[in-house]
Each structure stands twice: as C-alpha cells, then as structure tokens.
Amino acid sequence: MDLLQAMHERHSVRVYDNTPIDDVITAALKRLITTFNAESGLHMQLLTNEPKAFSGIKARYGKFRNVRNYIALIGRKGPDLGELCGYYGEQLVLEAQTLGLKTCWVGGTYKKVPKVLSVDNGEKLVAVIAVGYSNEDGTQHTNREFNEVSKTIGAMPEWYVKGVEAALLAPTAINQQKFVFELIDDEKVRATTALGPFSTVDLGIAKYHFELGSGKDDTIWTD
C-alpha cells in the first residue's frame, strides 16, 4: 500500500485489539519519528504499552477502547507549532496505515500522563495520535463541498483539483474542515483556515494531503 492509497483507506478508529505492536513495526515507526523530528524540529514521541492516557472518563466519553499506544505531538511553543504537528503527524498516520495499523487523532479526549512524556522547557504537548491494530476500518466522514474549501474561480489545473479533493479526505477536529485553498497562479497556492479548535493542526494535515494528492511539494505554498 502506498501513501496515496493509505490516504483513501484511512479513517479514525477508536477501538483497538490488545495485541502489542510488533517489534519490527515499532522500530519502523520510531525511525520515521526520528527522521521527521530532525526535519521539523518537533519532539514527537511514540509511547507503547501505556494504557493510562486512555483509561479515564474522557476516553470513555470519546468512545475509545484498548488504546495502549500513541504518538505524542510535542514541540517548541510558537505560532507555527500547531500546523507543524498537523503536517508531520499526518505523515506518521499515513505511514502507520501502510504498516497495517489504524489511528485516530486526539486533541481532547485523553489524559496527559506527564511522567511518561518528555516535554522540555518551552515545549508543549499539542495532541496525540492513538495507534494500534484493529479489525475495524472506520467510516468515511461527510465532506464539505469542493467550493466551500476552494476559493478559486474559473478554470483550475487538474493537479489543483486533485489536491483539494485529497484535502477533503483529511481528518479534522470535530470534522470541521475549516481550511480554504486558493490558486494564486500556475505555481502557487494559498492555504488558510477559519478559527476553530485545533484548526491550525487541521490546516497542517490538510496541506500534507493536498501535496500528496496534487503531486506537488511544499514549494507550492505562498502566504
């Protein structure tokens, strides 16, 4: 399975098996995290066999069961932190899907377990991603209309259409899909978001999906 296929097959899964993540898969995830941390400056961490974060009332309220592994998205506080977590966290989500794992982004319905995380001075835990084996696949979320998330009027290149369609597959907090794309010229796209809980994280996720769907890299973005 490649990342594009993973993007189509990924849905949030909240109920997991008790099976621990295989050592080879754990090592592969840790290698990816090390690479992405080096590239982004983030301090993301994989916690395995740690059931406490999803053992309380919040997790039950969020309908989570048997979450024993998660990726903590941590980084230096600053205006770009949310978007960076979204952009790199979603790469981990899709890589995990190709490795046979299921995931769910979680911003609210978990408990912070300080002793198991390494959060340095000036850093912040933004969100976590539950990860593990499950026989559930989740379901396709309802999408906004193309024109609700694209401000471009008139003719659009195919790569742009594919990018926006890919962004519509992105997970967003409470499925809010508040991101908006606009084609500036043949080579540049502007991505912005309306306000909402975790909307900057969502924007980073949606931008990664756009890149994957359009076949463009991050030089496509303009302010």
Instruction: Please give the residue ranges that form the binding site for ligand FMN (CB under 6 A).
Output: 11-12, 62, 104-109, 127, 138, 141, 171-175, 198, 201-202, 205
**73 or 183: whose CB is closer to ligand FMN?**
73
Shortest spacing between CB 186 and ligand FMN, in angstroms: 30
Minimum distance, C-beta of residue 125 to ligand FMN, in the bound complex (Å): 13
Nearer residue to ligand FMN within complex by CB, 4 or 156: 4
State the angle between helix axes of 81-98 and 23-40 in degrees (0 to 180), rounded to the nearest 10.
Answer: 150
Q: Return the axis-axis angle of helices 199-214 and 81-98, rounded to nearest 10°.
A: 50
Indicate the residue whose CB is closest to ligand FMN: 171
In whole angstroms, the minimum distance from the beta carbon of 155 to ligand FMN comes to 30
Question: Residue 25 Cβ, how far from ligand FMN at the closest point, in Å?
Answer: 21
* 182 CB burial (10 A radius; 0-12, 13-18, 19+): middle
Report, in Å, the least distance between residue 171 CB and ligand FMN: 3
Answer for the pair 98, 4: CB distance below 8 angstroms, yes or no.
no
Q: How many helices (H) and strands (E) does the chain have?
A: 7, 6
Minimum Å distance from CB 98 to ligand FMN?
17
Which tokens belong to 61?
A: 């309220």
| H/E stretch holding 151 | none
Closer residue to ligand FMN, CB minimum distance, 86 or 163: 86
Smaller CB separation from ligand FMN, 149 or 183: 149
Q: Give the residue ranges of DSSP H helices in the chain.
A: 3-9, 23-40, 57-61, 81-98, 146-149, 158-167, 199-214
How far is residue 209's CA from residue 186's CA, in Å, rounded to a whole number? 19
Token readout for 123 is 């850093």
Other Cβ atoms less than 10 A from the Cβ of 119: the count is 15
**Based on CB atoms, which residue is closest to ligand FMN, 131 or 183?**
131
Nearer to ligand FMN, 72 or 104 (CB): 104
